[in-house]
Structure 1
Amino acid sequence: MKERVAVAFTGPSNSGKTTLIEKVARKLIATHKVAIVKNDPKDKATFDVEGKDSWKFFQTGAEVVVTSPTRTTYFSHRQKSLEEIVAMIGDFDILLVEGLKTLPLPRIAIFRGRIDESYFDCSEAMAVDDTVDLSAYAIPEGIDILDLNDTDRIIDWIQTHAKAV
């Protein structure tokens, strides 16, 4: 893979999205530059400590960048499009996106226990474990079925289906 590509992961709360993305990222990082975007639909995540200078700067409403010898952190008050995020991150090979069902990216839906059929319309693949009885569902043709616990196979699917960004 020479071009920058992206793939998305979706699924109900507590289905294993974050765990799967962590496993995939840990394997891919050995040979690729990996970036991850996490959607926070309920606006719950916090990234700063109240009272610190960076927190005070952010409270002004300004865009804030905190830089150090080992990292750069960007605090924004503005929602960003996928194109803006890609441009901001810049140097990566593979972008893993958690959530953001509306983005036009190849998508793996994650399920444990039961499948939520409302995800069929926005998914090209499903990763399930042995707690899901696939025979209980009418899975549309064209949706690949992956083993949630087979990270290597999921990475193969990503390398074949990820979209250039």
Structure 2
Amino acid sequence: MNKRVAVAFTGPSGSGKTTLVEKVAKVLIEDQKVAIIKNDPKDKAVFDVEGKDSDKFTKTGAEVVVTSPTRTTYFSQREKTLNEIVSMINDFDILLVEGLKTLPLPRIAIFRNRIDESYFSCSEAIAVDESINLADYAIPENIDILDLNNTQNIIEWINTHAKQI
């Protein structure tokens, strides 16, 4: 089995986390198996259509798997640890995690317009665009600065810093 690695992305709402994860995944998936975990701290995501069988099954509170010739969907009613999720997904080369600041993974914090310095303590890198004037901030020396609009630059950082899991 290939080594499996993971990296996390964090940042304020509207900073571009989803867009960046999407761009990175589209490049990496050309020659690697990519998995993505998205944190939904406010429990807002909707995954099913009201009234359909799978929705009715999910509302029972049971663990539900819906399978078809092209996909398998797992509806869990329980919070899962990273290790539990990794063992469920199992077959991947790189895991991209959006959110979940508490996980011990190398983390890129994403900012537009303003840097929230509270993210420095949980990040190994920041990705910013031209809307940020870096001179306005005291960025710790141990934090790498990446170009938010240079996907290849970010992938190179990921290839060097992603953590084996």
Q: TM-score range by the shorter chain?
A: over 0.9
Residue 153 (structure 2) pairs with residue 153 (structure 1): yes
1:37-60 superposed Cα distances (whole Å, 9 cap, x missing partner): 000000000100111111111111
* Counterparts of 2:99 and 2:77, CA distance in 1: 19
Structure 1 runs (4+) deviating above 6 angstroms are: none
1:163 corresponds to which letter in structure 2?
A: K
What is the correspondence of 1:4-83 to structure 2 with a 5 Å cutoff? 4-83=4-83
Aligned equivalents of 1:126, 1:34: Cα separation in 2:
22
Q: 2:102 aligns to what?
A: 102
Using the TM superposition, give the Cα deviation of residue 143 of structure 1 relative to its aligned residue in structure 2, in angstroms.
0.1
Q: CA deviation at 1:16?
A: 0.4
How far does residue 160 in structure 1 lie from its aligned partner after superposition? 0.4
TM-score by length of 2: 0.99
Q: Alignment partner of 1:40: what SS?
A: coil
| Secondary structure in structure 2 of the residue aligned to 1:120 | helix
**Alpha-carbon separation, structure 1, partners of 2:81 and 2:161:** 21
Structure 2: unaligned runs, 5 residues or longer: none
Deviation at 1:93, TM superposition (A): 0.2
1:92-131 correspondence to structure 2 within 5 Å:
92-131=92-131
Equivalence for 1:137: 137
Task: State how 1:79-94 maps to structure 2 within 5 Å.
Answer: 79-94=79-94
Aligned identity (percent) is 77
What is the CA RMSD across the aligned residues, in angstroms? 0.5
Normalising to structure 1: TM-score of the pair?
0.99
Q: What is the rounded CA distance, in whole Å, between the counterparts of 1:158 and 1:31 in structure 2?
A: 15
Secondary structure of the structure 2 residue equivalent to 1:66: strand
Using the TM superposition, give the Cα deviation of residue 141 of structure 1 relative to its aligned residue in structure 2, in angstroms.
Answer: 1.2
Displacement of 1:11: 0.1
